Amino acid sequence: MKLLLKGGRLIDPVTKRDEVVDIQITDGRIDRIAPSISAPQGYKSIDLKGKVVAPGLIDMHVHLREPGYEHKETIETGCASAAEGGFTAVCCMPNTNPAIDDESVARYVREKGKSVCNGLVDVYPIGAATKGRKGEELAPMAELAEAGAVGFSDDGAPIAHAGIMRRALEYSSMYGVPVIQHAEEPELTQAGCMNEGKTATRLGMPGIPPIAEELMVTRDIIMLRYIPRARYHVAHISTQGALDAVRAAKAEGLNITCEVAPHHFALTEEVVTSFDTNTKMNPPLRTREDAAALKAGLKDGTIDVIATDHAPHTIDEKEVEYTQAPFGIVGLETCVGICLTELVAKGVLTLMQLIEKLSTRPRAILSLPPIIIKVGELANLTIIDPDIEWTVDKELLKSKSKNTPFHGMQLKGKAIGIFNHGSSNLT
């Protein structure tokens, strides 16, 4: 592979670089970066005028479903979806079957990731925090970390028992690996299937109160204050209350970070009025006030990361009564478009800040090495067209599942290709 990327706008949060350059790549390695390079013989020149060249994006919250639920997604289709969405890396949540709660499953997921899609997408397992994700006994965290787990979580379910959470924070702190909490007090959520409040009241739907999230985050912050060496990350934060708690904890200097999923700032509970089960996810879509607060949290830096909570389910699983439908939507292929449309175009984030939240920050939280864009380094890049206008079509998704609430939505901007480990899908 001998390529010359011409005239792209390189935006690199690591070096704070933002300039138009040409980049020459030989066999996957960057061997020249300069304002203007004329293509040497045998090099294919790609015109990237008006496009953005960014360090490879990572989605730290993905359900790849393999092993166990290959009818929804496989590591291969999940990686294809990630590559299409502009991600050179994903983290695989441990709610597989068996759960990623021992080293054999963690290694399986990692190795399988290397063998699919020409290795375009790095797959990093998140280990279960407790055995079988049952919330009762600690999973073998040291063994999991050695096998490549970059975080611990029972995602899909909270680490609900205070005693177990305390030990999880203490034990994981030995290895500097963050505990990623799906923050939900189960006593308060019960059979709820959408945000509790105005719309649920109108629809007669059992509610999930915002305080279920806020209460769990607040409890965990109190623990973190007691165990300050631990690292704690709130997955898919969705409420103003929980966000305010994180902001205060950060001001206090605690080791706390958090992520938001695009649907939580792009959509609100009102869309549930359609009873379309693609509006059902956990945490649920919240109010306009919450969505506005999440955008403010992205802007002021309280929210470190944007992650999709990509959760594939088949049409048959989703095409049932709302209360019966499983939680979750796919997100890998719509993320960049939604972020550009909802955040960058509306002045919430600059492109530089967006790329930080999709690449630099999550990598730092997971202790993954930063992506260095300089001569001699392997190219790990995402190319973004910030101006292309397109309409989301679920039938065109590379994911095995089509459960997206964004079908038919018009977006401006998308990822058009990635480079990683000597491969590229840029056409």
Partner 1 sequence: MKLKSRHLLGLDGVTKEEITLILDTAASFREVLDRPIKKVPPLQGKTVVNLFFESSTRTRISFELAERRLSADVVNFASAGSSTSKGETLKDTARNIEAMKIDMVVIRHSAPGSAQFLTRVLDSNIINAGDGWHEHPTQGLLDMYTLREKFGTLEGLRVCILGDITHSRVARSNIFGLTTMGAHVSICGPSTLIPRDLEHLGVKVYHRLDDVIQEVDAFNVLRIQLERQKSGLFPSLREYHRFFGLTKEKIARAGKPITIMHPGPINRDVELSADLADSEHSVILQQVTNGVAVRMAVLYLLGTTN
Stretch that binds partner 1, among 54-62, 69-77, 203-211, 373-381 (CB under 8 A): 203-211
Category of 99 on φ-ψ map: left (φ > 0), alpha (ψ -120 to 50) or beta: beta
- Neighbouring C-beta atoms of residue 345, cutoff 10 Å: 13
Q: Which CB sits closer to partner 1, 201 or 410? A: 201
Stretch of 84-92, 191-199, 222-230, 238-246 contacting partner 1, by CB under 8 A:
191-199
122 given a catalytic annotation: no
Sheet containing 57-62: order of strands: 57-62, 87-92, 122-125
> How far is residue 135's CA from residue 39's CA, in Å, rounded to a whole number?
57
Q: Does 316 bind partner 1 (CB under 8 A)?
A: yes
Q: Is 395 in the site for partner 1 (CB under 8 A)?
A: no
186 binds partner 1 (CB under 8 A): no
- Nearest distance, CB of residue 156 and partner 1, angstroms: 22
Tell how strand 256-260 and strand 232-234 pair up. parallel
Cβ contact 55:360 at 8 Å? yes
Orientation of helix 240-251 relative to helix 210-226, angle to 10°: 20
Among 15, 97, 201, 391, which residue interacts with partner 1 (rule: CB under 8 A)? 201
Using CB under 8 A, pick the residue from 275, 345, 387, 389 that binds partner 1: 275
Is 323 a residue that touches partner 1 (CB under 8 A)? Answer: yes
Residue 330 gets the label, from left (phi > 0), alpha (psi -120 to 50) or beta, of: beta
- Asked if 202 touches partner 1 (CB under 8 A), the answer is yes
Specify the stretch interacting with partner 1 by CB under 8 A; choose among 29-37, 108-116, 201-209, 331-339: 201-209
C-beta neighbour count of 20 within 10 angstroms: 15
Calculate Rg over the CA atoms of the chain.
21
Q: Which residue, 121, 132, 113, is CA-closest to 74?
A: 113
204 binds partner 1 (CB under 8 A): yes
Of the residues 174, 320, 345, 396, which one makes contact with partner 1 according to CB under 8 A: 320
- Taking the complex as a whole, how short is the minimal distance between the CB of residue 297 and partner 1, in angstroms? 24
326 lies in the site for partner 1, by CB under 8 A: no
Quick check: 328 and 73 in contact, CB under 8 A? no
Q: Does 200 bind partner 1 (CB under 8 A)?
A: yes
Q: Which stretch binds partner 1 (CB under 8 A): 24-32, 192-200, 222-230, 242-250?
A: 192-200
Q: CA 308, CA 257: separation in Å to the nearest integer? A: 16
Cα 139 to Cα 130: distance, rounded to the nearest angstrom:
4
Helix axes 162-173, 210-226, angle to 10 degrees: 50
Q: Which CB, 204 or 347, lies closer to partner 1?
A: 204
Could you say whether residue 319 binds partner 1 (CB under 8 A)? yes
**Separation of alpha carbons 262 and 413, rounded Å:** 15
Return the bridge partners of 62, or none: 92, 310
Task: Tell the smallest beta-carbon distance from residue 68 to partner 1 (Å).
Answer: 21
Q: What type of residue is 414?
A: K
Name the residue nearer to partner 1 (CB basis): 203 or 409: 203
- Binding residue for partner 1, selected from 49, 321, 395, 427, defined by CB under 8 A: 321
Number of residues that bind partner 1 (CB under 8 A): 20
Of these, 43, 175, 322, 327, which contacts partner 1 (CB under 8 A)? 322
Of 22, 155, 220, 309, which residue is the catalytic one?
309
Nearer to partner 1, 271 or 368 (CB): 271
Structural tokens at position 299: 């802007």
**Active site members:** 309
Given the rule CB under 8 A, which residues bind partner 1?
196-198, 200-207, 209, 275, 316, 319-324
